[in-house]
């Protein structure tokens, strides 16, 4: 089950992207009173903003929008395909990703929640749920994380997004049915995520 650690680390990548690309609020200035007439006259020809948008870009570009959005994303690699849904609001993020890879009997669903600098990831494989959590504020080296996973931080994805008009905060609550192990401990010991070790093996 060596592919299991890759699935979870893929969700970890999403979490580190959320932390490293902090957003700064944009500032605006009011026009002088003597230009009010010009502004009124030209307003009619300005493009009208839409609640939906689509394109091709990185997850960073979506986060830089700094607004509550819900996106469907897809990423195709040589030997795999990843599709999923991403939610972003007020510095919180959730991603539910479905990965199809040769050698796997069926797609695997992996989910990630990032809230208050703590990242929770979990997967369901053959009816069993596996979860890990990590305090990203204590992370020292993320290079190995960026090199693994179904979607790397800088890789483009095709996305279709819409403004999240009624944000459901429960989306960002980790499931109580999953027992989350410590990700830092797993990486330090080199244990394979989801592997069962028999007594006396270590």
β strands within 81-179, DSSP E: 81-89, 92-100, 108-115, 118-125, 128-135, 157-163
pTM recorded for the entire structure? 0.66
Amino acid 5: pLDDT: 46
Please report the pLDDT score of residue 3 as a whole number.
46
Banded model confidence at residue 153, pLDDT cuts 50, 70, 90: low
Rg value, the chain, Cα: 20
In this predicted model, what pLDDT tens digit does every residue of 94-114 receive, in sequence order? 999 998 877 777 788 889 898
Please state, rounded to an integer, the average pLDDT across all residues of the chain: 71
Measured CA to CA in angstroms, residue 90 lies from 16, 47, 53, 196 at distances of 16, 27, 20, 38
Question: Each residue of 46-66: pLDDT tens digit?
Answer: 444 568 999 999 877 888 888
Higher pLDDT, 117 or 126: 117
Give me the pLDDT at residue 130, please: 85
The conformational region for residue 125 under phi > 0 = left, psi -120 to 50 = alpha, else beta, is: beta
Q: 70 - beta bridge partners?
A: 87, 162
pLDDT exceeds cutoff 50 at 36: no
19 φ, ψ (degrees, to nearest 5): -80, -45
Q: Pick from 185, 183, 167: which is nearest to 68 by CA? A: 167
> Which DSSP letter does residue 146 get?
H
């Amino acid at each position: 089950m060596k592919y299991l650690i890759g699935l979870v680390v893929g969700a970890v990548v999403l979490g580190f992207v959320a932390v490293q690309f902090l957003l700064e609020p944009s500032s605006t200035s009011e026009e002088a009173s003597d230009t009010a007439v010009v502004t009124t006259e030209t307003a009619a020809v300005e493009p009208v903003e839409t609640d939906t948008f689509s394109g091709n870009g990185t997850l960073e570009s979506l986060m830089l929008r700094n607004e509550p959005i819900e996106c469907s994303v897809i990423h195709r690699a040589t030997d795999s395909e990843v599709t999923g849904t991403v939610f972003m609001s007020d510095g919180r993020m959730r991603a539910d990703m479905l990965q199809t890879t040769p050698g796997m009997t069926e797609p695997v669903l992996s989910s990630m929640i990032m809230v208050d600098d703590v990242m929770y990831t979990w997967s369901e494989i053959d009816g069993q749920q596996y979860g890990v959590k990590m305090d990203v504020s204590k992370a020292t080296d993320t290079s190995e994380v960026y090199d693994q996973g179904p979607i790397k931080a800088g890789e483009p994805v095709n996305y279709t997004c819409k403004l999240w008009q009624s944000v459901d905060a429960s989306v960002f609550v980790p499931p109580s049915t999953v027992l989350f192990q410590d990700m830092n401990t797993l990486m330090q010991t080199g244990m394979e995520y989801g592997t069962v070790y028999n007594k006396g093996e270590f």
